[in-house]
Amino acid sequence: MTSLLQTDVYACALVLWELLWRCKDIWPPNEPPVYRVAFDNMVPRDPRLGHMYPVVVRDRRRPDTPAAIQKHRGSSNLSGLAELWSFITDMWEHEPEGRTTAACTADRLRRLRQTLNPAGVADP
């Protein structure tokens, strides 16, 4: 059962990765790049298990880091973004037992949200 839960954590990391790629606030000038599918530069457009297995399991590859995150690593004005990226990488650790749990991830995301928005102000 734990392995299945950790697979869900990995899948959640991929969803967060996609959200980051589409988040216009981190891309100058507020324009995200064209939509990308995870691993799009590593496997065919319509991959099968035989394409994904060597990339993800054998070679332990993960989707590309968005350029906006690479560019701003260590920048204090995007520290929340760097922290979110750290959560994502913890969630897709190769060994399922090494991944953060869903409960831990939810707690980390709640704390990050409180840090970035302490008054609980709703976004426009």
pLDDT (tens digit per residue) in 66-79? 877 777 666 655 67
pTM for the full predicted model: 0.79
**pLDDT at residue 43 tops 90:** yes
The CATH architecture assigned to 2-38+65-116 reads: Orthogonal Bundle (1.10)
The confidence score (pLDDT) of residue 62 equals 94
66, amino acid identity: P
**pLDDT at residue 121 tops 70:** no
Report the C-alpha gap between 119 and 42 in whole angstroms.
42
Number of Cβ within a 10 Å radius of residue 17: 21
Report the C-alpha gap between 86 and 70 in whole angstroms.
12
* 5-37: pLDDT as tens digits: 788 999 999 999 988 888 887 777 878 888 888
Q: Is the peptide bond before 29 cis (omega within 30 degrees of 0)?
A: yes
Report the C-alpha gap between 30 and 79 in whole angstroms.
18
